[in-house]
Amino acid sequence: MRFAGKTVLVTGSAKGQGAEEVRRFAAEGASVVVADVLDDEGEAMAKGIGDAARYVHLDVTSEEDWTALVASLDALHVLVNNAGVLGPFTPLFKSDVGAFRRTLDINLVGTFLGHKHAGRKISQSGGGAIVNISSISGMWGTPYAAAYTASKWAIRGLTKAAAVELGRNGIRVNSVHPGGVKTDMTAAMGDDGSTDWYKRLPVPRIGTVDDIAGAVLFLASDEAAYITGSELVIDGGTLAGDLSLIPPAP
């Protein structure tokens, strides 16, 4: 029970990857806060977990929401900045500045506000860990997704700055960089993991929410006590090298 006696907050956790993370934290003894704007799904998620969970409405772009949530907590030991959006896939020349700003507001500013408010609570609680969900799009350029790519690169920088600054507060800060992961969000893009792209990977399949959750829990746990400012790529080998010469797996 790696998180017995700990309180864990996961943003964007009403469904998908965040939901798997809160389930895993609760199974390891944590009291979990399911935070999202999807109230019905979030309430159902917390109810399904049981007494170890509660749901709190949180728009990560709202400083008022962050202030109210943190004020309601007796203590906090782990923050997972999971909330995020892909934003529109649009050619750069046709991109709407409002949509660009909205994507950065959720993905980047929301993550910053988590550090500012939840991070202070973690410090007051004796220290702990922050895990930021970036992407392999924060390691390379994803065409037609300039806002998403820019936001995920920026999360890398924020992670480094926070790791250096908050170490004296007893807080470790790391980022996770998933490749393709099978969720409702990727399914809405038509990505079900069946393409030859995934068959060419060294691990020839799409990722699962369980793949990501396991890494998040490791970085949040005392097993990673000497790890901060690090980037953990979980992509089945996507970034390992030139995959164009590798035939698809049967």
* Burial (CB count within 10 angstroms: exposed 0-12, middle 13-18, buried 19+), residue 40: exposed
Phi and psi torsions of 3, nearest 5°? -120, 20
Residue 249 one-letter amino acid:
A
DSSP output for 176-235: EEE-SB-SHHHHHTT--S-SHHHHTSSS-S-B-HHHHHHHHHHHHSGGGTT--S-EEEES
> Catalytic residue at 148?
yes
Q: What angle do CA 135, 223, 18 make, to 5 degrees?
A: 40
User: For the stretch 134-160, what's the b/e string if a residue is b when 16 or more beta carbons lie within 10 angstroms of its beta carbon?
Assistant: bbbbbbeebeebbbbbbbbbbbbebbb
Cα dihedral value 5, 34, 26, 193, nearest 10: -140
Phi and psi torsions of 9, nearest 5°? -115, 125
Catalytic residue among 55, 148, 198, 226: 148
Residues 6+ apart with CB under 8 A from 105: 61
**Residues noted as catalytic:** 148
